[in-house]
Structure 1
Amino acid sequence: MKNLKRVSRWMTVAFIAVVTNFLVTTSGFAAGLLTPSNAQFSVLEIKTHDVNVIIEDGFAITTVEQVFSNPHSQDLEAVYSFPVPEKAAVAEFTVWIDGKPVIGEVLEKQQAREVYRAEKQAGRDAGLMQKDEYKTFDMKVSPVRAGQDTRIRFVYMQPADVDTGMGRYVYPLEEGGVDEQKFSFWTATETVQQQFSFNLALKSSYPVEALRFPNQSQAVISQKSAGEWSANLTSSGSNPQVEQGQQVNAMQPAFKLDKDLVVYWRHQAGLPGSVDLVSYKPEGARKGTFMLTLTPGDDLKLVEEGRDWIFVLDISGSMNGKYATLVDGVQRALSKMNSNDRFRVVLFNNRAQELTQGYVNATPEMVKHYSDSLLQVTPGNGTNLYAGLKNGLRGIDADRTSSIVLVTDGVANVGETHQKKFIKLLAKKDIRLFTFIMGNSANRPMLQTLTRVSNGFAISISNSDDIVGKIMEATSKVTHQSLHGVELSIRGVKTSNVSPKKISSLYRGQQLVIFGHYWGEGLADIHLSGKISGEKKDYSTQIEFPATANAHPELERLWAYSSIQDMMQEMNDFGEDADLKQAVTDLSIEYGLVSNYTSMVVVRDEVFESLGIKRFNKQRVENEKQTQSKRSTQTPVSRRVDTQQPMFNSTRASHSGSGSFDSWMFVLLLPMLVISRRFRKY
């Protein structure tokens, strides 16, 4: 038992050291109004920026309203960019024209551009929302009249998963700095001149013990009931006091859109494993849409055996300013390893190099030697991720459990960049890939695919994240077994179009969230199966699909987005396919989603009519807002459907009493937190 605890602890310390050091950042490109860097004309201002977030029933709805101000004597075009939120679909883009809100419609990407360009050239009001792959959503509004303001609103939706009893919401603002061409061409205006507000409302049918808003000391957090919490942050500019006769200074900046806002909530410990169902099926409809959330019990045991660890570390130019702390963290990680465990260190930028020249036991002499070697490295150049992984995969010992820890804040932009080549590379070895995706605008789709192929896991890390929370989440998974080869079946009620198509593995604390369509009503048998360390595991229950459910029309968009992600993943794996591309386009238009192949355009009502553009998205938005208004007055409703026949016999995984993060571990963490905080100031 003592040996088991020792193994768990050194594994935890290794992750603490590495992850902590990658949470130290330099400032980068941020969300904001964009102006060409060499522009001769004046820039617009962000007058107000108001964010409202509602998290309930397993998904989050984010509404952002902004006012752009043109203090100049000529009409100008507003160009606003913000990072793509994880698993999020933009469902509404509205521009106020003649004092009235006009909701945008989704068209094929080139068609939307042509409509916007024609209206812009004609001097008529228009707006355009586009997606730049996995990196940013880019919005254009024309014209912002001279000496006037323009008001806009956009809304996006995303699942709100809970991991190991902890929920997390990120409002992404800080760019990842991975798009060098964009960074060199544009200058971002990220300052809100007058009012900024961020209001988050959480409604959970499961008790929530606490809500946390790190790095925002001015935030007001309040609790309404066991499952209802709110977080509010406001900031306003003000004119300074001046003496009579002095010139009045400009409005002082209120808020900068340069750092992510992160909110956490923690569920009560000891909650049972559960199955929750949220559905949407209007009266008279044959087909309904469902979101099924499985939160397994804590059946995954601590891992006892020793391992081989390969640290594959990004030392490209974007890592400047973080490297000294990285070296310190790796040294700490290596010094805490068990003598029976081995490690390698691979670094990559334009090319890959291995410092260790094979596996090394973590003796004090070897730790000092390779720490000194790391100190001689100067970060720079591009990101040859393929070379880094290929080097890391060399010399894998088939008789030992091996894992790769990949930490990167960039995208593959040097050497081999085709995703299917990466997949083929990983398929050659039986190894888990644990990926820490640093910052926004990283190539999250590819990195997540690689971890899926290797049955590992990926964790996204924001520079505004609570360090302790992310460390606990990661180490809890690494130090425990996982459920591999996961399959889910639903029988008794007809279901189809289930997404995601491939589940792969479930690690400790992870939820399984499934979207799909169903026909009819009544009892259905749910069966989940997989293997833990080669031993087959089965879980089953019965749940009831309702004949009518009107409260959650947003599920249709969430299902469509998840299905689009499946198709995009297939094209990323095997190359673009004309049929799949058309299917993505059709789904995006039908359900009003901005995607790689579609954009949302706003024009005057009479222009929509003259162009023959149907107002399907307007109807969908109005229906969603009506149901959201009704839900806002209701107390949280339990969506659990397996109370009569529980699918899981044990309580959910949580950080309390898991053994992966105890008081002993916190003492070890403190010096590293101090180092991280100190470097954040510079």
Structure 2
Amino acid sequence: MKSPNLIYDTDNNVILDKVDVTGYVCGEFVEFSTSYIYENRGGNDVEAVFTFPIPETAVLSGFEANIGGRTIKTTIESKEEAEKICDKLKEESSNFLLEEINANDFKISIGKIISGETIKLKISYIEELEYEEKSLKLTIPQIVEPINIENSKNLMNENDYKCYLNLLVEPFNEVEFESSTHDIAVEKGDGYIYKIYFNKTEYLDRDLVIYITEKELEETTGMIYENPKDNSNILYLRFMPDIEEEEENLVHEYEFLVDISSSMEGEKLLQAKNALQICLRSLNDKDTFNIVAMGDTLHYFNEGGKVLYNEENLILASKFIDNLQCEDDALIFEGIKHGLKDDHKGKENTILLFTDDIVDDEKEILDYVEKVCENSRIFPFGIDASVNTYFINKLARITYGKAEYINDNNKIEDTILNQFNRIRGLQVTDIKLDFGDMNVEKTYPRTIEYMYDEEPFSIFAKVRGKAEGVVTLTGMVGERRVQRRVSLNNLELEENANVIEKVWYKKRCDSIEQRIRFERSEVYNSMKNKLIELSKKIGVLTSKTSFILIEEVYDPVLNTAFKKFLPVNIKYEESDNIDDFCGVYYRNSLNKDFSEATRKEMMRILASYQFASGAFSDSILDTSEDKILYTAKSIIGFTEGKEEINIYKNLLNKGLSYIVYALNDEIENYSETTIIACYLAFNQSLKRIIIKNDKKSWAKKWNETFEKELIKRNIDINKAETILKSSIENEKLEDNTLKGLIDHLVLK
């Protein structure tokens, strides 16, 4: 995560004097306010710029500056109105300028800070926290000391400032907190209220990361926020379906449609190739697939149609992907027609389409798909900002798929893998909500097309009058009917509705932003005006609004204060964010010095080296024990870090199944190192909760089997990890081989 930063000129001594972070966490949402106090202790005046990023899942909700007695705050206007105001201010001179670089990066030109002057800056934003292994991850970015652009070495000592933390956490249920980055203290109040602060002197010289884990993760829970002023309540409900699998795995048919037009040249095509390699390795036995590259003509992996997923076809498909080259055009319409050619026969086909192209004949394509498609679903991936969002969203909507978008901060592999996991997993469809006798004014989302197994899903509802009784959710999993109920009488009634009310309106804005992409003309303009109205009401940015700075200027003659506009420059530029990894890999050659690679980079490469059987191996000629050992160590490498590994969940479960299959109940015939690796693989997989509930007893049984075998061989299981890593360290670590990659990942 990037960091807030003050940059100034001339050889002076601007210091960071104080940082104060306050936050209110409500369920999966948080509003942060961070104050920074800087002081110019040098002998000369300086010109300064303050840059601050906010997380990708956050939206800026406020900015305030106090500089030399001037108080500057923000208000929100439509982008058109903001540009008009800025045009009028161009002739005026102002040292203060707020620049919106992109949706998550801002820069403030503060202007002159005179010697001895103190400035105070305050940033506020609302963030939707993300789950990592069933825990909510809360991150507060590190703070970089002021940087003198004329002197790379700052004159002040590092961490010579006061730093305070005050978080109020209001979760759904009883929770535990863990931070490996800072020493935090937790105070529990009445009910489910917690206060978090630093236990000792700490600094934000590194990201502060706190994991919030519910002691019992319930399928259905929620909160009620009461607003006595207008006799209303906001319901905030969370569903996390845990659906039992059918005894027999469903067989899926896949069609991968890949744009290879000239605009995909370079990194985008390389990322798409790597993503396809990993998608193939997420298929199961009896699945069928085909790959169609859409260029000047259609290029088929198999001219005769879909093939069975097995080792031989996986190897051939991998070579086909590696050999793809860009051409001038992309026959998107012809590719979609091919994907739907058997739809009239009642065959369900899952189509994954990824493209960065602007489609010219969108109406003709959409009309065709709406007429022909009855059984298939299309999951389009729009790559790059120039993609036709209306077309992508409409295509997904009319086929009951889901659209995703790739941007600078979100690698194509992650997006596709998350989507693919949803497709492979169980889904609840035909969802209906029953609020009983409650007077519900609005809900977000308005309609629910899908819920995915073990993925949290939040629902908001505004209720006029009393909020009591039971909310019932019903849906279908295949041919089965499922039902989940939330008793509102068991939920906590909260009085502080400030954050959740902002979230409620933000969710309404999100809903309009999603739907406005499908519209044109009058409907589009009506939705745009509503979006601007809600954005101004809650003070949160949307795609149709921008910040305006206002300074209150006091006139002593008239004894009154006037509001003065200051300029805001909305100049969307390429982000200068550099990711931890390049994401460009070839399957044919590792060609990598793994000692310098990050864990995320190594996991991405390793994921593309799994065979259809589930084994991690670079050669079908490896011995059975080599494959078991490589697979077990690969699973250890994936599971022992703190990285998000949900996108690899299916691959890792296949690896565990392969180990059991390959052992063939002859565990006593394998080496000590192999058994230790198998034990650690199962043990850590259970700890990281990557195994579904209905398979946990199976995994625990094998974990116990490996443990008993180690005890039988007089091996201390508490030293198993140390023994394995020592055996790796005693060998020469290799580069450019799969074995070397796996060993580096285990030791990293």
Q: For 1:486, what is the secondary structure of its paired residue?
A: strand
Contact 1:436–1:461 at 8 Å: present in 2 too?
yes
Match of 1:532 among 458, 461, 477: 477
Matched, 1:111 2:81: yes
Q: TM-score, normalised by structure 1?
A: 0.62
Q: Kindly provide the amino acid, as one letter, of the partner of residue 78 in structure 2.
A: E
Match of 1:552 among 497, 514, 529: 497
Structure 2 CA distance, aligned partners of 1:396 and 1:65? Answer: 60
Q: Kindly provide the amino acid, as one letter, of the partner of residue 249 in structure 2.
A: E
Residue 96 of structure 1, CA deviation: 2.3
User: Which runs of 5 or more structure 2 residues have no equivalent in the other structure?
Assistant: 143-148, 555-559, 566-687, 704-727, 729-736
When residues 163 and 393 of structure 1 are mapped into structure 2, their CA distance, relative to the original with a 3 A threshold, is farther
User: 1:617 is matched with which residue?
Assistant: none
Structure 1 CA distance, aligned partners of 2:135 and 2:306? Answer: 36
Structure 2 CA distance, aligned partners of 1:439 and 1:210? Answer: 38
User: 1:145 is matched with which residue?
Assistant: 112
Residue 497 of structure 1, CA deviation: 2.4
Structure 2 CA distance, aligned partners of 1:457 and 1:420? Answer: 20
Residue 498 of structure 1, CA deviation: 1.9
Structure 2 CA distance, aligned partners of 1:169 and 1:443? Answer: 34
When residues 334 and 449 of structure 1 are mapped into structure 2, their CA distance, relative to the original with a 3 A threshold, is same
User: 1:594 is matched with which residue?
Assistant: 541
Contact 1:312–1:405 at 8 Å: present in 2 too?
yes
User: 1:292 is matched with which residue?
Assistant: 236
Match of 1:136 among 59, 78, 103: 103
User: 2:222 is matched with which residue?
Assistant: 276
Match of 2:186 among 210, 215, 224: 224
Residue 53 of structure 1, CA deviation: 5.6
Matched, 1:583 2:534: no
User: Which runs of 5 or more structure 1 residues have no equivalent in the other structure?
Assistant: 1-28, 36-40, 174-187, 214-218, 237-254, 614-652
When residues 548 and 198 of structure 1 are mapped into structure 2, their CA distance, relative to the original with a 3 A threshold, is closer
Contact 1:81–1:136 at 8 Å: present in 2 too?
no
Contact 1:125–1:143 at 8 Å: present in 2 too?
yes
When residues 525 and 594 of structure 1 are mapped into structure 2, their CA distance, relative to the original with a 3 A threshold, is same
Deviations 1:459-498 (A, max 9, x none): 8999999999999977764444211021213232322122
Structure 2 CA distance, aligned partners of 1:428 and 1:30? Answer: 47
Residue 198 of structure 1, CA deviation: 11
Q: For 1:564, what is the secondary structure of its paired residue?
A: helix
Residue 550 of structure 1, CA deviation: 3.3
Structure 1 CA distance, aligned partners of 2:292 and 2:540? Answer: 41
When residues 122 and 442 of structure 1 are mapped into structure 2, their CA distance, relative to the original with a 3 A threshold, is same
Structure 1 CA distance, aligned partners of 2:264 and 2:153? Answer: 27
When residues 345 and 157 of structure 1 are mapped into structure 2, their CA distance, relative to the original with a 3 A threshold, is same
User: 2:56 is matched with which residue?
Assistant: 85
Q: Kindly provide the amino acid, as one letter, of the partner of residue 498 in structure 1.
A: T
Aligned 1:162-311 pairs, distance under 5 A? 165-168=134-137, 204-208=171-175, 211=178, 219-220=181-182, 222=184, 224=186, 234=203, 236=205, 265-268=212-215, 271-281=217-227, 283=228, 285-302=229-246, 304-311=249-256
Residue 280 of structure 1, CA deviation: 3.9
Residue 655 of structure 1, CA deviation: 4.2
Match of 2:65 among 64, 70, 95: 95
User: 2:664 is matched with which residue?
Assistant: none
Contact 2:552–2:564 at 8 Å: present in 1 too?
no
Structure 1 CA distance, aligned partners of 2:562 and 2:173? Answer: 50
Structure 2 CA distance, aligned partners of 1:151 and 1:386? Answer: 54
Structure 1 CA distance, aligned partners of 2:484 and 2:312? Answer: 49
Q: TM-score, normalised by structure 2?
A: 0.57
Structure showing the higher helix proportion among its residues: 2
User: 1:642 is matched with which residue?
Assistant: none
Structure 2 CA distance, aligned partners of 1:446 and 1:389? Answer: 15
Aligned 1:432-471 pairs, distance under 5 A? 432-433=377-378, 454-456=399-401
When residues 329 and 507 of structure 1 are mapped into structure 2, their CA distance, relative to the original with a 3 A threshold, is closer
User: 1:252 is matched with which residue?
Assistant: none
Residue 557 of structure 1, CA deviation: 1.9
Structure 1 CA distance, aligned partners of 2:270 and 2:526? Answer: 49
Q: For 1:593, what is the secondary structure of its paired residue?
A: coil
When residues 235 and 678 of structure 1 are mapped into structure 2, their CA distance, relative to the original with a 3 A threshold, is farther
Q: Kindly provide the amino acid, as one letter, of the partner of residue 529 in structure 2.
A: Q
Structure 2 CA distance, aligned partners of 1:311 and 1:526? Answer: 40
Q: Kindly provide the amino acid, as one letter, of the partner of residue 599 in structure 1.
A: S
Matched, 1:393 2:339: yes
Residue 589 of structure 1, CA deviation: 1.5
When residues 533 and 313 of structure 1 are mapped into structure 2, their CA distance, relative to the original with a 3 A threshold, is same
- For the pair shown, the structure with the greater C-alpha radius of gyration is 2
Structure 2 CA distance, aligned partners of 1:498 and 1:589? Answer: 21
Residue 50 of structure 1, CA deviation: 8.3
Q: Kindly provide the amino acid, as one letter, of the partner of residue 286 in structure 1.
A: D
Match of 2:562 among 598, 610, 614: 610
Q: For 1:484, what is the secondary structure of its paired residue?
A: strand
Structure 2 CA distance, aligned partners of 1:564 and 1:128? Answer: 24
Aligned 1:14-93 pairs, distance under 5 A? 54-64=24-34, 78=49, 80=51, 82=53, 85-86=56-57, 88-93=58-63
Structure 2 CA distance, aligned partners of 1:327 and 1:264? Answer: 34
Structure 1 CA distance, aligned partners of 2:525 and 2:275? Answer: 47
Q: Kindly provide the amino acid, as one letter, of the partner of residue 98 in structure 1.
A: G
Q: For 1:594, what is the secondary structure of its paired residue?
A: coil
Deviations 1:400-430 (A, max 9, x none): 443234568xxx4533497997697478533
Deviations 1:271-300 (A, max 9, x none): 33223123140x4x1243514213245234
Structure 1 CA distance, aligned partners of 2:53 and 2:299? Answer: 35
Residue 141 of structure 1, CA deviation: 3.6
Deviations 1:503-542 (A, max 9, x none): 1111112333222322222524422222221343344454
User: 1:414 is matched with which residue?
Assistant: 358
Q: With CA pairs under 8 Å and 6+ residues apart, which has the higher RCO, 1 or 2?
A: 1
Residue 572 of structure 1, CA deviation: 0.7
Q: Kindly provide the amino acid, as one letter, of the partner of residue 165 in structure 1.
A: K
Deviations 1:593-649 (A, max 9, x none): 222332222221138953599xxxxxxxxxxxxxxxxxxxxxxxxxxxxxxxxxxxx
The CA RMSD measured in Å over matched residues stands at 6.0
Structure 1 CA distance, aligned partners of 2:339 and 2:400? Answer: 15
